[in-house]
């Protein structure tokens, strides 16, 4: 857009490879605790975009073909979810993936008024669809759970796996969130 001031600011960046998490089902943080950043109160504006870039790897066993669900958490709210991404029936060990895209700030405010909407591109050879790249969420786009943008919030990436097994896991090597404002 010509003539409209723009800026991009890195809000969070993981500086070291994370832990390989496996043998769990309930979604949990997969980002190094030392890398988590807090968004200041009233930082987000309607229309600004959060640019999410994740590089990691997943492992899955052949017998269960588990699903992986990625969630961007803002405070305690699931501000965005990929939905369940089904893996193929081939055993994979730390097969690389990327998760990239934009989330637009749809609304701001107190309590559960602030919401994000958007789609990210998930690329990995372990998907059951036979494709190596899909747009997520896997359901119709909708705003995520509301959060309070008038208070400081930690932004985090959580992942849930449908079947607990030592062979089902996720490891994050790089995680960046930037804000693009106009």
Residue 63 has pLDDT above 60, yes or no: yes
Distance CA 151, CA 171 (A): 30
Strand-pair partners of 124: 97
Q: What is the pTM of this model?
A: 0.91
Range of weakest confidence among 59-68, 78-87, 105-114: 59-68
- 109-151 pLDDT, tens digit each: 999 999 999 999 999 988 877 778 989 998 888 899 999 999 9
Distance CA 51, CA 40 (A): 17
The whole-number pLDDT of residue 163 equals: 93
- pLDDT greater at residue 72 or residue 11: 72
Contact call for residues 123 and 145 (beta carbons, < 8 A): no
Residues 96-103, mean pLDDT to the nearest whole number? 95
User: What share of the chain in percent tops pLDDT 90?
Assistant: 71
The whole-number pLDDT of residue 4 equals: 56
Q: Is 138 left (phi over 0), alpha (psi -120 to 50) or beta?
A: alpha
Range of weakest confidence among 16-20, 62-66, 81-85: 62-66
Residue 7 has pLDDT above 70, yes or no: no
Residues 30-37, mean pLDDT to the nearest whole number? 92
Residues 1-29, mean pLDDT to the nearest whole number? 81
Contact call for residues 103 and 64 (beta carbons, < 8 A): no
Question: Biggest alpha carbon distance in the chain?
Answer: 56
The whole-number pLDDT of residue 179 equals: 87
Contact call for residues 46 and 181 (beta carbons, < 8 A): no
The whole-number pLDDT of residue 3 equals: 57
The whole-number pLDDT of residue 32 equals: 94
Dihedrals phi, psi of 35, to nearest 5 degrees: -95, -5
Contact call for residues 120 and 108 (beta carbons, < 8 A): no
Distance CA 33, CA 31 (A): 6
Tell me the domains of the chain and their CATH numbers.
7-181 (2.60.120)
The whole-number pLDDT of residue 182 equals: 65
């Amino acid at each position: 857009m010509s003539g409209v001031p723009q800026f991009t600011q890195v809000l969070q960046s993981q500086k070291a490879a994370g832990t390989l998490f496996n043998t769990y089902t309930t979604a949990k943080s997969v980002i190094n605790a030392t890398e988590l950043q807090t968004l200041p109160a009233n930082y987000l504006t309607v229309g600004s975009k959060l640019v999410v870039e994740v590089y990691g790897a997943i492992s899955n066993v052949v017998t269960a073909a588990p699903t992986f669900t990625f969630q961007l958490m803002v405070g305690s709210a699931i501000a965005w979810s990929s939905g369940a991404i089904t893996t193929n029936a081939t055993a994979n060990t730390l097969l690389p993936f990327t998760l990239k895209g934009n989330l637009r700030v749809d609304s701001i405010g107190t309590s559960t008024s602030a919401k994000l909407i958007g789609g990210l591109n998930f690329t990995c050879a372990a998907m059951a669809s036979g494709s190596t790249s899909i747009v997520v969420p896997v359901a119709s786009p909708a705003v995520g759970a509301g959060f309070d943008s008038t208070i400081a919030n930690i932004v985090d990436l959580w992942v849930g796996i449908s079947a607990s097994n030592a062979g089902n896991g996720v490891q994050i090597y790089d995680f960046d969130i930037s804000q693009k404002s106009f």
